[in-house]
Amino acid sequence: MINDLLEEIGSPETIGISGHIRPDGDCVGSVLGMYAYLTNAYKDAKIKIFLDQPPAIYSYMKGYDEVDTTFAYPGQFDVFIALDSGDVERIGDAAKLFLGAKKSICIDHHVSNSGYGDVFHIEPDASSTCEILTRMFKDEYMDVEVAKALYTGIAHDTGVFRYSCTGPDTFDALSRLVKYGFDATKITDETFYQKSYVQNQLLGRTLLESIIFMDGRCIAGYVDRKAMEFYEAKPSDFEGIVNQLQMTKGVEVAIFMYEIGTLEFKVSMRSNGKVNVAEVAEYFGGGGHVRAAGCNMNGTFHDVLNNLSLHIERQLDALEEKDAQAPV
């Protein structure tokens, strides 16, 4: 647990910041929000950001152009901070910088995070890493740039304040952020709702070819390598597809996957509450949250589905058994 972030950081000369591979809105928001905040707090420190190339939609954030995508750094950092990543492997090539730092700090909200680094602060009930940071940051070093970045992360991880992870503390954090005065609607419109033509084509295609099974309680769709190459799709082009699948009436679990290598899929799962998809993802070496989780899996689309559905069905059956035994 971190009580006072700046006290924990101390007075370093060098600070490194990173987040998980294939960064999403909460990852980019927390990393660049932290960067903007620490730039205000430590005027003389050298602060570096290491991250996979964030999508251009986030280029309005301070520090976007400072992102180092090479992960090359010859020295040792005094402090290195990992954000929004459930395990150290998920910060990719930044792991060696994190592990080699004099002090490593992890701040995260994944339920699958068992804690890594010298100091870690994990709030599995927080909607987003950006919500945690909003509570940690002091007024003194906050400004509109920090606020915009953190707002973005909260908006993304809550599906614009809609998912069940959104709670009173989320709105408290948001209320503090919007007071800095920025165009909040523009941020959600341009980074969350708006899709490129290709993204919409991929969404339409996936919905059209999706299959439902387990008596309509499960829905799944995928994009294979051939389609990815045809559309020149990037991983960020698939964001939101699994959530649209989840909006199918009667569905308990939605699964979306795309091929990252020959017969290797990046799997995304979303649950409407009954099934703990973090548990399923963890079984296959991934992780995430109870209602949103992911993992990488090998095999054909149908192999992967068979493996996943076994675990999903087991959870649903256990629930039904419990319901049947419950006194009426």
Residues lying near ligand AMP in the complex (CB under 6 A): 20, 86, 90, 110, 268, 286-289, 292-296
CB of 271 to ligand AMP, least distance (A): 11
Asked whether the beta carbons of 94 and 71 are under 8 A apart, the reply is yes
CB of 89 to Mn ion, least distance (A): 14
CB of 156 to ligand AMP, least distance (A): 10
Residues 6+ apart with CB under 8 A from 223: 202, 205, 206, 233, 238, 257, 258, 259
Closer by beta carbon to Mn ion, 19 or else 221: 19
Measured in whole angstroms, the distance separating CA 139 from the mean position of its chain's CA atoms is 26
CB of 28 to Mn ion, least distance (A): 9
> Which ranges in 10-115 belong to alpha helices (H)?
25-41, 95-100
CB of 22 to ligand AMP, least distance (A): 7
Select from Mn ion, ligand AMP, none the partner in contact with residue 108, using the beta carbon and a kind-dependent cut-off of 5 to 8 Å: none
Select from ligand AMP, Mn ion, none the partner in contact with residue 293, using the beta carbon and a kind-dependent cut-off of 5 to 8 Å: ligand AMP
- The HSE-up count of residue 324 (CA atoms within 13 Å, CB side) is 6
Strands 67-68 and 103-108: unpaired
What 3-state DSSP class applies to 295? strand
Asked whether the beta carbons of 106 and 85 are under 8 A apart, the reply is yes
CB of 267 to ligand AMP, least distance (A): 7
Name residues contacting Mn ion, limited to 243-262 (CB under 5 A). Answer: none
Name residues contacting Mn ion, limited to 99-158 (CB under 5 A). Answer: 128-129, 157
- The residue number whose beta carbon is nearest to Mn ion equals 26
Long-range pairs for 159-162: beta carbons < 8 A, 24 or more residues apart = 159/243, 160/188, 160/192, 160/193
Q: Is the dihedral of CA 35, 36, 40, 43 positive or negative?
A: positive
| Residues 9-48 as x/- pattern, contact with Mn ion by CB under 5 A | ---------------x-xx---------------------
Select from ligand AMP, Mn ion, none the partner in contact with residue 54, using the beta carbon and a kind-dependent cut-off of 5 to 8 Å: none
Q: Figure out which of the listed residues 78, 84, 131, 259 binds Mn ion, where binding follows CB under 5 A.
A: 84
CB of 301 to ligand AMP, least distance (A): 16
Select from ligand AMP, Mn ion, none the partner in contact with residue 121, using the beta carbon and a kind-dependent cut-off of 5 to 8 Å: none
Select from Mn ion, ligand AMP, none the partner in contact with residue 25, using the beta carbon and a kind-dependent cut-off of 5 to 8 Å: none
Closer by beta carbon to ligand AMP, 48 or else 110: 110
Residue 197 CA: distances (Å) to CA of 77, 228, 244: 42, 14, 16
If you compute the radius of gyration of the chain from its CA atoms, what whole number of angstroms results? 20
8-state DSSP, 219: E
Summarize as ranges the residues that interact with Mn ion (CB under 5 A).
24, 26-27, 84, 128-129, 157
